[in-house]
Amino acid sequence: MKVRALQYVVLLGVAAIFLGPLYWLISTAVKQPADIYQWPPDWWPDTFSWENFSLAWNAAPFDRFFLNSTVITVAGTALKVANAVLTAYAFAYLRFPFKKPLFLLILGAMMVPGHVTLLPNYLTVASLGWINTYAGLIIPGIGSAFATFLMRQHFLTLPTEVTDAAAVDGAGHLRTLWRVVLPMSRPMLITVVVITAVEEWNNFVWPLIVTNTAEMRTLPVGLLILKDEEGLANWGTIMAGTLLVLAPMLLIFLVAQRYIVGGITQGALKG
């Protein structure tokens, strides 16, 4: 069939458009400088070289950037998800006066555009003495509205018999949460963790604003420094640095793709 053949051609074209830039990144990162500056370009590196990675690593304190990004991603994700889980549990299982308006207050935070909060949050963090600290990088981001919403909606779908049985057995709320509710919510929990970790790792503008010393920079901001220092003259080094920033999330994506996709479509179609 002619139509089908055309569809395959388009599909192949789409694949090329999305894979092309990533292939170009990786192949440039492992090319020798002489091979990069060639026209027409070499589609396959003549010789593979790892020189660009060591050049990038030494051009800027990448080890430190890596450490900072890792600390922020791990701690930020842990705190944000803990906030979401505890809040969601409270709203799903506990009584409290004014629960509904309180929940709206938490959800309302989604309506506040992140970019609008930059300057006041910078001033708040500065007045707390948190500029160039992990606290300043992490704490402002651990409030959770969307993740809380997702977790609560999920908790409400769990059968109440199980939590009731736990209560009859004399388990307290925290024990019920830890031993009964969370194990039953693993897919949703993984979804929230993965989405949060990706956000934390990629965060750019906040770390840019709240740090000003090289040793407190994160990878995405470090990339900006590398780019400015190399003055766009050394694409091999810059592409190697870029690959270092991308690779962890690309790996997480390949492993946890199902959860990321699931979480995003869930948020879109329910929200």
Closest C-alpha to 61, from 246, 214, 234 = 214
Tell the smallest beta-carbon distance from residue 183 to other proteins (Å): 19
What does the alpha-carbon distance between residue 217 and residue 210 come to, in Å, rounded to a whole number?
A: 9
Burial grade of 5 (CB within 10 A; 0-12, 13-18, 19 or more): exposed
> Can you tell me which of 78, 102, 158, 167 binds other proteins, judged by CB under 8 A?
102
The enclosing H or E element of 156 equals helix 146-157
Judged by CB under 8 A, which of 75, 131, 167, 249 binds other proteins?
249
**Closer to other proteins at the Cβ: 68 or 242?**
242
Among 191, 198, 216, 263, which residue sits at the site for other proteins (rule: CB under 8 A)? Answer: 198
116 binds other proteins (CB under 8 A): yes
Nearest distance in Å: CB 165, other proteins: 18
Q: Which residues from 117-176 bind other proteins, rule CB under 8 A?
A: 117-124, 139-145, 148, 173
Which of these, 199, 247, 255, 209, lies nearest to 66 by C-alpha position? 247
Q: Which of residues 215-234 bind other proteins (CB under 8 A)?
A: 219-221, 223-224, 227, 232
Binding to other proteins (CB under 8 A) within 32-61 occurs at 36-41
* Residue from the set 60, 81, 193, 246 that interacts with other proteins by CB under 8 A: 246
Q: Between residues 18 and 44, which has the closer beta carbon with respect to other proteins?
A: 18
The CB-of-157 to other proteins minimum distance in angstroms stands at: 18
| Beta carbons within 10 angstroms of residue 71's beta carbon | 14
* Percent of the chain that is helix, strand, coil (3-state, to 5): 80, 0, 20
Among 52, 73, 83, 191, binds other proteins (CB under 8 A): 83
Helix (H, G, I), strand (E, B) or coil at 180: helix
The tokens of 16 are what? 């090329």
